[in-house]
């Protein structure tokens, strides 16, 4: 009757309207495996997955799962193995902080020291370092751009650059705080100390032959400039309890101790931070550390 005629007419209109739509706006029909190949991806775990829409036919079979093989990274940054070896010259220099870290951590290592001598004492243009030069020529120091220090542990691990070595060892042995924020503050304190050291190095005293001028520069540094730096450093330290950061020993304490107790052996540095209770407490804490104290007492006596 009339209802059937209306329904047929309405159906034709709907079909005509659907066909009149642009092809891009029509509902897409699910065609697998082409669709499956389009939407399959790679997860972080290294396995393929296929996302199938909920309205897809249950009879459609997705591609089989497979594991993507990834090669182990090549280079000097594999897993450390065996005994640590720290290569540097026979001196404290820029390797001494790393040695102190290893002492505080109670970690055994080979303290490999390249010997050197001078044809003219104190004249670095006449330095002789045969073993270092031989290792450099043989490519043993290539990962360090031909320099030292270089930290090694087995055939798959080598790390150059003194500051990178310090931060790596500190992180490995729990000396970078307990949270990301504490680690950032440990790093910040280390950079404050670097600023102090850089300020002194910039004075050009190394190799200076004018003893009178050298004495004048040192008098101003230890009498005025260093105390001013240390007062600022004291105010910047977040830890009030004998530790720079986080209430426990960290790399920050070690670098502060080295600055104040192991940088200028021929000066009364203690007077420069006499009015800094935080710095005094940190020095006292590290002075009492048995392993660090033993290292300082037993280490080789060197010219620098």
257 touches 104 (CB < 8 A): no
3-state SS assignment for residue 270: helix
Residue 81 DSSP one-character state: -
Residue 168 sits in the same domain as residue 227 = no
Q: What is the pLDDT of residue 189?
A: 98
Q: Higher model confidence: residue 52 or residue 219? A: 219
Residue 238 sits in the same domain as residue 153 = no
Q: What is the pLDDT of residue 248?
A: 97
Phi then psi dihedrals of residue 168, to 5 deg: -65, -50
Q: Which of 121, 156, 173 is the last residue of a domain?
A: 173
| CB-based contacts of 235, cutoff 8 Å, min separation 6 | none
Domain housing 141:
75-173
Please state, rounded to an integer, the average pLDDT across all residues of the chain: 84
**In the structure, what pLDDT confidence band is assigned to residue 152 with cuts at 50, 70 and 90?**
very high
Residue 182 sits in the same domain as residue 135 = no
Q: Would the pLDDT of 202 be above 90?
A: yes
Decide if 67 is inside a domain: no
In the structure encoding, which two tokens stand for residue 156, read together?
């798959």
Residue 146 sits in the same domain as residue 204 = no
Q: Would the pLDDT of 221 be above 70?
A: yes
In the structure encoding, which two tokens stand for residue 74, read together?
């090549």
Residue 209 sits in the same domain as residue 245 = yes
Residue 110 sits in the same domain as residue 159 = yes
Decide if 53 is inside a domain: no
Evaluate the CA torsion angle 202, 206, 212, 215 in order and state its sign: positive
pLDDT tens, 52-75?
A: 444 444 444 444 444 444 445 456
pLDDT tens, 74-115?
A: 568 888 988 999 999 999 999 999 999 999 999 999 999 999
pTM: 0.75
Decide if 98 is inside a domain: yes
**In the structure, what pLDDT confidence band is assigned to residue 37 with cuts at 50, 70 and 90?**
very low
Q: Which of 118, 143, 173 is the last residue of a domain?
A: 173
Distance CA(140)–CA(125), nearest Å, equals 24
**In the structure, what pLDDT confidence band is assigned to residue 32 with cuts at 50, 70 and 90?**
very low
Q: Which of 149, 173, 197 is the last residue of a domain?
A: 173
Decide if 258 is inside a domain: yes
Q: What is the pLDDT of residue 147?
A: 98
102 touches 170 (CB < 8 A): no
> How many of the other CB atoms lie within 10 Å of CB of 282?
27
Decide if 304 is inside a domain: yes
Q: Higher model confidence: residue 44 or residue 121? A: 121
- In this structure, of 33-37, 144-148, 157-161, 190-194, the range with the lowest mean pLDDT score is 33-37
Residue 132 sits in the same domain as residue 186 = no
Q: Higher model confidence: residue 207 or residue 250? A: 250
Edge-to-edge strand ranges of the sheet holding 158-160:
109-114, 84-89, 150-152, 158-160
Nearest Cα residue to 290 out of 109, 105, 166: 105
Residue 191 sits in the same domain as residue 287 = yes
């Amino acid at each position: 009757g009339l209802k059937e005629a209306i329904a047929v007419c309405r159906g034709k209109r709907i079909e005509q309207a659907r066909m009149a739509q642009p092809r891009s706006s029509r509902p897409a029909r699910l065609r697998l495996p082409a669709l499956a190949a389009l939407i399959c991806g790679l997860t972080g775990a290294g396995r393929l997955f296929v996302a199938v829409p909920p309205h897809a036919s249950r009879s459609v079979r997705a591609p089989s799962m497979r594991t993507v093989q990834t090669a182990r990274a090549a280079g000097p940054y594999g897993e450390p193995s065996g005994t640590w070896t720290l290569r540097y010259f026979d001196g404290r220099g820029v390797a001494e902080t790393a040695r102190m870290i290893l002492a505080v951590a109670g970690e055994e290592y080979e303290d490999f020291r390249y010997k050197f001598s001078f044809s003219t004492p104190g004249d670095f243009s006449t330095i002789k370092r045969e073993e270092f030069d031989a290792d450099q020529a043989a490519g043993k120091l290539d990962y360090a751009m031909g320099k030292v220090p270089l930290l090694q542990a087995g055939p798959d691990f080598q790390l150059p650059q003194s500051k990178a070595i310090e931060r790596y060892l500190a992180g490995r042995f729990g000396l970078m705080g307990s949270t990301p924020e504490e680690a950032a503050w440990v790093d910040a304190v280390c950079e404050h100390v670097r600023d102090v050291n850089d300020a002194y190095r910039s004075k050009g005293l190394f190799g200076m032959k004018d003893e009178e001028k050298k004495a004048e520069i040192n008098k101003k540094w230890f009498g005025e400039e260093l105390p001013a730096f240390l007062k600022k450093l004291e105010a910047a330290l977040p830890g009030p309890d004998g530790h720079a950061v986080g209430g426990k020993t960290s790399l920050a304490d070690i670098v502060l101790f080295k600055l104040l107790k192991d940088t200028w052996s021929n000066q009364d540095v203690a007077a420069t931070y006499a009015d800094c209770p935080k710095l005094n407490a940190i020095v006292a804490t590290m002075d009492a550390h048995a392993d660090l104290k033993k290292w300082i007492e037993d280490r080789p006596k060197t010219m620098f």
